[in-house]
Copies of this chain bind each other. A is one copy, B any other.
């Protein structure tokens, strides 16, 4: 495990939110000034593939990365972009039963306008 990959993983684990690659890059640069954006993307891809971190993909926005790897939904404010996690048990089961397929993963993003923005 390289220093870079370790640093990136630590940043995600210690963050309380859902960072973008660019945000992770900025935080990483503070501790490792010569790290390259490509290195961040490369390692994020590997960490996702290894299921060590989660990926949140929201329409029209850059991807966000999540320390939580268990399946859950995201409530997204269409005004400020804030992301809140939520857990609706059995949705995966319901999709699997309804369609008779094996669901590998899912993205569930519900859009709203948060109290601060209203």
Contacts and interface: CB of A to CB of B under 8 A. Distances in A.
Contacts of A104: 78, 111-113
A32 to B, nearest CB: 27
Interface stretch (A15-23, A33-41, A56-64): A56-64
Interface residues of A, number: 32
Contacts of A103: 75, 110-112
Contacts of A92: 110
Interface string A64-83: 00000000010100100000
A88 B95 CA distance: 8
A111 B71 CA distance: 12
A94 interface: yes
